[in-house]
Each structure stands twice: as structure tokens, then as C-alpha cells.
Amino acid sequence: MAILTDEINLLVTLNAGYLAPLKVMLYSVHANNPGERVHLWLLHASLTPAEVAAVAQLTASFGWQFSDEPVDADFTAGVPLIKRYPKEMYFRLLSGEILPHEVKRVIYLDPDLLVINPLRPLWELDLAGHMLAAAAHRGVTKLVDSVNQLRLGTTTSYFNSGVLVIDLDQARAKIRLSDITDAIETHESDLILPDQDILNFLYGTDILEIPEEIWNYDTRKYLIYQTRNLTQHDIHWVMANTVILHYCGTPKPWDASSDGKFTGLFLNYQQQLQRLLASLEPVVE
């Protein structure tokens, strides 16, 4: 198989709580993007050297490039944080300031998802001048958009922040930590999902919408997708056409209480990952 030469930059930001599902997600990327050159950028504020080394070992087994980008505590010292939400959630928006300037574009992926088809079409997406690309999670109607427009005073769709294409040069010019700080302080009582709300409130007009059924499929909403598309999007369509399955909400597929339509698929990738990890040398503490 020919090796594709345009390296895909993947961005992840997390704390240790999501390290295990992150590895499953990365394995799914590797399994379904054979021949791709991938560079994983890991942004974090609290992972231990051993935890970072485990991710580095996994990506090395894939033949990927890996960059560990620890974020100094002073960088977000002035950001007011919402209880229950880690500061790492803001790193995706601030990645232009954190990553080297030679990195021009990244695909940001949440750790609680699977990539089941090739990512290259998303990597090569024409942003048409926009700073970001994202999907909006709607129900059968656009009621969710309307509610969030009223809540946040916005006019655009309400975009999910779990999958983003980011033009980093534009982000460096437009995204300011002070703007994020001001927005949190001003609207803290109105924020439900802080990073996502801030994304929409500050930058919604600079986001290119991409189809959620392809790029950010909410695994809770299988029947809704079928209803909205006159039953055309059955499980066969999903497996052939959807690229990213997003396990939004709870329970997560790695939880014992999870028994959804897509739980088994996640568990299968988890099993495959465990077999791979068993074949690798233990990471030295």
C-alpha cells in the first residue's frame, strides 16, 4: 500500500481520567487509516511522565510522530474555571498559542469517540475562509439550535466541540485568552458546557458546518438519525459512511452499565488494543 505523504496533525487535550479511552480512540484511527502519516500532538497540564510515555509507545507502534506539549500552569492561571470541568478543555481553543507556529492545521478529537473510516477527507476539507469546522448535533428538528441561540444570544447553529478542524494561523490571530476569560466571567451562570458554549458564543460565526452523520455521529441518537433521514441511515449506512462515532453523554461505552447499539463496537476496539498492548514492552515507570 502506498504511503500518503501529507501528514495529518491530530490534536488531543486531556487529563489522566480519559487516558484509557484515548488509547482506544487512537487505535481506531490507526486501524482505519492504513498508510497514513499521522502526527499526534498531546496537550496536557497534569499527565505524569509514565502516562505520556505510554501514549508515546502506542503511537510509535503505529509508526506515527508524537509530540508531548505540556502546558505550563501559568498559561491558564487567570482563567476562571467552572466546577466539574478541567482546564484542559480550553486547550483546544488556545492550541494556536501552544503549538509550534509551523503547525498550520489540526484535527482536534475528543477521547470518547471512534474513527471507523478514513479521516483524510476531513483533513483536506476546504474551510472556505473559516477558522474552524464543526458539526451541530440536532434532534429531529432544529429546536436545540433555537434554545441555545436564545440562551447564548447567538445566531448560528450550536456546534459540538468534540471534533474540530482548526486553521491555526487564523486561531493565532483571532483567539485571545482574555476574550475567553471575559466571556466566562460574564456568562458563567449561563454556561452549561463551558468550552462548547464559549466556542459558540465567541466563534460561532467563523465555523464551517460539516454533516454530523459523517463527522460527529452522536451514538445516542441512532433512531433520530433514521427518522430525520426517512430510515435511510441504518446501521449498514453508518458503518459504510460515518467516519467518527462520538459517545456523547453517559454511560460511556467502557462503563459496565452501557449497553447501547454501538457499545459492542467500542468494546471490540478495546479488546484489539489490549492485545496490541500485551505484545509491547512494559513502559518503565
Instruction: Name the residue ranges covered by the structural domains of the chain.
Output: 8-279
Cα 205 to Cα 8, 170, 171, distances in angstroms: 26, 13, 13
| More confidently predicted of 75 and 249 | 249
Work out the average pLDDT over 78-98.
75
pLDDT at 149 over 60: no
Q: At residue 74, does pLDDT exceed 90?
A: no
Contact criterion met (CB below 8 Å) for 283 and 53: yes
Length reported for the chain: 285
Q: Pick 75 or 35 by higher pLDDT.
A: 35
Region 8-279: CATH code: 3.90.550.10
Cα(185)–Cα(253) distance, integer angstroms: 34
Q: Given this model, what pLDDT does residue 168 score?
A: 97
Average pLDDT over residues 233-257: 96
Q: Is the pLDDT score of 70 beyond 70?
A: yes
Characterize the bridge pairing of strands 65-70 and 132-134. Answer: unpaired
Confidence of residue 147 (pLDDT cuts 50, 70, 90): very low
Q: Determine the distance from the C-alpha atom of residue 242 to the mean position of all C-alpha atoms in its chain, rounded to a whole number.
A: 15
Region 129-138: mean pLDDT is 94
Question: pTM for the full model?
Answer: 0.91
Give the pLDDT score at 158: 87
CA distance 272 to 30: 12
Residues 213 and 239 sit within 8 Å (Cβ to Cβ): no
What's the burial of 255, exposed, middle or buried (CB within 10 Å: 0-12/13-18/19+)? exposed
Structure confidence at residue 180 as a pLDDT band (50, 70, 90): confident
Using alpha carbons only, give the angle 197, 41, 133 rounded to the nearest 5 degrees.
40
Contact 43, 127 (CB under 8 A): no
Mean local confidence (pLDDT), 140-155: 49
Helix (H) or strand (E) holding 32: helix 19-32
Omega into 251 within 30° of 0, i.e. cis? yes
Residue 10's pLDDT is 98
Give the per-residue pLDDT at 201. Answer: 86
Residue 153 is predicted with a pLDDT of 56
Question: Which of 204, 195, 149, 196 is closest to 174 using CA atoms?
Answer: 204
> What's the chain's average pLDDT?
88
Identify how many contiguous H helices and E strands the chain contains and give both numbers. Answer: 12, 10
pLDDT classification of 150: cutoffs 50, 70, 90: very low
